[in-house]
Chains A and B, each alone.
Chain A
Amino acid sequence: MSATGYALELKDLRKAFGKTEIIRGANLAVKPGERVAIIGPNGAGKSTLFNLISGRFGPSSGEIVLNGQRIEHLKPYEINRKGLARSFQVSNLFTRLSVFENLRCGVLWSQGYKYSFWKFLSKLHDANARAEELMKMIKLDKKRDVLAMNLTYAEQRALEIGITIAGGADVVLLDEPTAGMSKSETKRFIELIREVTVGKTLLTVEHDMGVVFGLADKIAVLVYGEVIAFDKPDAVRANAKVQEAYLGSVLADHQAADAKA
């Protein structure tokens, strides 16, 4: 992997929109295979952070290092080709294509088909097999030929994850994967995410504390554009700075719930 041994590193990352600085010197170093949940109050800059890492916005200053290579100046598709994929908070699908086609689109680049127009899709056995496999993984194999726009909300969320992991990226960012789901749906969905991201470096933005503690090895707390804590869940719970800034009440509730259960 990289010389530094980290899958993803943020070094003094800053982003300002006009005069307002949203990300104010964020530092983070994620090891390969770690599952990190990024939490923080509304407006802390969680989504902005994802947009910076995935190349949607360029940072004002600072470095983003993916597997030892700096990527902060690259376009989203270049970053994706280097092995980083992301999902979106609002499902971002190819609405008029079928489930299978959606997944195959996600697969094509990673299988080296690029912009080719001299090959038939039906002959691309590796890409088709991979798309079929993904469809089973996200449990949409019964909806193979249904257009993405005709899926239920939960199915669309699953397809969103499917497209994200389709290219086989080893660093995966999930932006509120369970947003808008019911409790029972969320539980099943977390299992699904666990299954499909085995062995990958995972970063998620989450509001649901159940999801956070269920999914993450480590928690990064983002407050006003800075990472004020990055540690194992228990250590973050105990961190006085975190409790003061944001988490105290939420964590206390969660612990109380745990104690009862």
Chain B
Amino acid sequence: MSALPTSTSSRIAAVSTASAASAAPARFEFRPLNVGRFVIWSLFVLVLAVAPLVFTSSLSITMLSQMGIAIVACLSFNMLLGQGGMLSFGHAVYTGLATFVSIHALNAIAGGLPIPVSLVPLVGGVAGMFFAVLFGYVTTKKAGTPFAMITLGIGELVFAMSLMIPEFFGGEGGVQANRVVGKAVMGITFGPQIQVYYLLAVYTLVCTAAMFAFTQTPLGRMLNAVRDNPERVEFIGYSTQRVRYIAFIIAGFFAGIAGGMYALNFEIATAEVVGAARSGAYLLFTFLGGATFFFGPIIGAILMVVAFVLLSEFTKAWLLYLGLIFLFMVMYAPGGIASLIMLNLRVAAFGKLRRLWVAYVALAGTALVMLAGAAAMIEMVYHLQLNPALGPNLRFLGVPLDATGLDSWFGAAFVTLVGLAMFEATRRVFGKQWGQIQEEIEKEIRRREAL
């Protein structure tokens, strides 16, 4: 669960202290010179602070703000999925309802409620927690498949309610608010997007740190235990239901903060913020980023915003591509991008990554060929379906295609199949190399243990 790569040096240090200091309880201290951890958190702060200075366009500042929101939302989702083994299909209920409450709070501030605008995400957090207390009691009575089903049911229920109670949810049009209300503190009105960005960045940082800290607490560890083996947990004094329920409430709190951040950023809440599509997006991108490591969902959240904002501009078939990527990820790298990174860092730590470069380049190249062919066919189908008025001709990656012509289809299919065959061949070679390297690493570890 640590965000840090276990470098060889730190591992050796841990081993030597373990054998040396059997009598000294001081060795359990939070290692004061945890350099790796310090560096990573400093880098995170730096990236949050500097990003809008590097990417200055209004589009990128908007995207960066959304990434902050998505990071908090996905991390809170992963508290359930990765750390607790709870597959929720309805996490948007907690982010979304918090968004509505926060929008109403903003409107109340405009009406004279004496809360600073900068605390609206906290209002969202309390709202998220409240709904998690309410719905979570039922949801966390069960684990596994029943848990997933109940979250799905509650998601549908809340979405249906959003159309039934227009007084709170604002019906089809949603509820709007204005974030430039109340007294400006030190000239900060939250009018300009950059001011909002920095507020969201602070929330992102604090929430990320708090959620990481949670993984280092007794409840955080018992949540892992409940994920691995709920049955045994019951026989070491813990009620699995209680562990799940408390964790669910805490996840609801952070989800609520993300919802409040969303309200500040967009100043509108519509029914889709509690919808199943959004819940699905949290699941999909948390998984893509990697649920087994703490930092995985951060990667997932960044990809989510990139996909929703950029990929959707680039092609109408973006959801289809997303589905394909998800499919391949589940099949070939079920640990997500984070696990790919950690596995390769391990290989690098043993100085063997260089041997894989050629294979990686070949894998990427053949995958791109396959993708280009498949994408050409997808784009032709979309073109025929959506733009029939524009005629059968289109350009894809600079190549003129005729969506009704045999040549184009044959060409695209040929490229796809050749790409697929080459990819599969390289994958097999790579698999062998990878296996061999892992064996060598295991041997090396055993050798070091024997020393």
Contacts and interface: CB of A to CB of B under 8 A. Distances in A.
A117 B219 contact: yes
Size category, A interface: 35 or more
A118 B250 CA distance: 12
B231 interface: yes
B222 interface: yes
B50 interface: no
B219 A94 contact: no
Contacts of B217: 116-121
B218 interface: yes
A54 B228 CA distance: 21
B153 to A, nearest CB: 26
B308 interface: no
A120 B219 contact: no
Given A145-B14, A163-B232, A97 B224 contact: yes
A97 B233 CA distance: 13
Size category, B interface: 35 or more
Interface stretch (A75-83, A195-203, A226-234, A253-261): A75-83
A66 B29 CA distance: 38
B148 interface: no
B42 interface: no
Given A94-B232, A129-B28, A145-B14, A120 B213 contact: yes
A15 interface: no
A75 B216 contact: no
A112 B217 CA distance: 13
Contact of B219 (A101, A116, A123, A132): A116
A85 interface: yes
A117 B22 CA distance: 27
B238 interface: yes
Contacts of B235: 54, 76-77, 80, 85-86
B361 interface: no
Nearest to A145: B14
Contacts of B214: 117
A152 interface: no
B228 A97 contact: yes
B29 A108 contact: no
B236 A167 contact: yes
Interface in A121-149: 121-125, 128-129, 132, 141-142, 144-145
Contacts of A117: 214, 217-220, 246, 250
B225 interface: yes
A33 B449 CA distance: 39
Contacts of B449: 142
A2 interface: no
Given A75-B239, A80-B237, A92-B232, A105 B28 contact: no
A4 to B, nearest CB: 25
B85 to A, nearest CB: 10
Nearest to A129: B25
Contact of B221 (A93, A104, A110, A141): A104
Nearest to B218: A113
B14 A167 contact: no
A177 to B, nearest CB: 15
B30 interface: yes
Given A95-B228, A142-B449, A76 B218 contact: no
Given A93-B229, A120-B213, A163 B218 contact: no
Contacts of B229: 92-95
Interface in A151-175: 163, 166-167
A17 interface: no
A105 B236 contact: yes
Interface hub of B25, B221, B235 (most chain A Cβ within 10 A): B235
A86 B232 CA distance: 10
A115 B224 CA distance: 13
A116 B218 contact: yes
B101 interface: no
B242 interface: yes
Contacts of B11: 145
A96 B228 contact: yes
A114 interface: yes
B18 interface: yes
B236 A80 contact: yes
Interface hub of B30, B222, B227 (most chain A Cβ within 10 A): B222
Nearest to B220: A117
Given A101-B221, A118-B217, A123 B237 contact: no
A109 interface: yes
Given A81-B237, A163-B232, A122 B219 contact: no
Contact of A96 (B14, B30, B224): B224
B444 interface: no
A166 B232 CA distance: 13
Contacts of A75: 234, 239
A225 interface: no
Given A97-B224, A115-B242, A121-B218, A110 B237 contact: yes
A183 to B, nearest CB: 26
A77 B239 contact: yes
Nearest to A87: B235
A45 interface: no
A59 interface: no
B246 A115 contact: yes
A40 interface: no
Interface string B424-451: 0000000000000000000000000100
A115 B228 contact: no
17 contacts: A77-B238, A77-B239, A80-B237, A86-B235, A97-B225, A104-B221, A108-B237, A115-B222, A117-B214, A117-B217, A117-B218, A118-B217, A121-B216, A121-B217, A122-B216, A123-B29, A125-B28
Interface of A: 54, 75-77, 80-81, 85-86, 88, 92-97, 101, 104-106, 108-110, 113-125, 128-129, 132, 141-142, 144-145, 163, 166-167
Interface of B: 11, 14, 18, 22, 25, 28-30, 213-214, 216-222, 224-225, 227-229, 231-239, 242-243, 246, 250, 449
Given A76-B234, A117-B220, A125-B28, 5 more contacts: A93-B232, A110-B237, A129-B28, A163-B232, A163-B236
3 A-B pairs with the lowest CB-CB distances in the bound complex, closest first: A109-B237, A117-B219, A94-B228
